[in-house]
Amino acid sequence: MGTSEIARNIKLLREKVASRCLKNGVGPSGIAIVGITKTFSVAAAMEALKAGLTDLGENKVQEAAAKIPQISPRPVWHLVGHLQMNKAKKAVELFEIIESVDSLELAQTLSNCAGKAGKKMTIFLQVNSSNEPQKSGFDPAEVQEEIGDIMILPHLEISGLMTIGPLTDDMGRIEKSFGLTRMLFEKIKKIAGNGFEKLSMGMSGDYEMALDYGANVLRIGTAIFGVRESRNQEAS
């Protein structure tokens, strides 16, 4: 994809986000767009930054480790893919935000790694709101039970929830997934208090619906950078 096309795509995306926010009676300034650069080039990532994005995301620690040092000025880096326990230390080094914390055990490991690195790690808790066995994420009931144990971990800052809507044309299923996550978000916010304010839902195919359900972090790949060669669209 040409560099000017990336800038055009970002402009169009911002216009669509603003239009949807207007329809919903909310201001678009509070919506963070995370450009998902998985499988895309360093040059493409740099173009997105030049066009005004401040946040970029990667799915895999290994790809991020090769790409992140080459990209300047440094954006806020989000890890949005499943994180294996043995890559937690490297993830803490590379990213500002880990959106895909899907178990108490992983949260504990990240807190330990962050403590050793002398930092506080910002995390989102990933919820498997569509109850799909192939997806990572807390069971919606489980996350409420375990939030107390995660909140006391000393080197983590829990900033919100993340979910991946079902990859389907059934809009009802997607709505149910986003609606459940929003409900959980509101419940946990009452427990977690100040600082728990991010709701990461919505990718290239469903971000407008996500906005209808209160998403304020959108993870957008395809709509910015074009179609990936890989058919795995879980980070689009």
Residue-wise pLDDT tens digits, 168-190: 888 899 999 999 999 999 999 99
For residues 190 and 171, what is the distance between their CA atoms, to the nearest angstrom? 29
Q: Which residues contact 23 (CB under 8 A, 6 or more apart)?
A: none
For residues 80 and 35, what is the distance between their CA atoms, to the nearest angstrom? 11
What parts of the chain have a pLDDT lower than 50?
231-233
Residue-wise pLDDT tens digits, 17-56: 999 999 999 999 999 999 999 999 999 999 999 999 999 9
The ranges assigned to domains in the chain are 3-224
CATH superfamily of 3-224: Alanine racemase (3.20.20.10)
pTM (two decimals): 0.94
Burial class (CB in 10 A: 0-12, 13-18, 19+), 212: middle
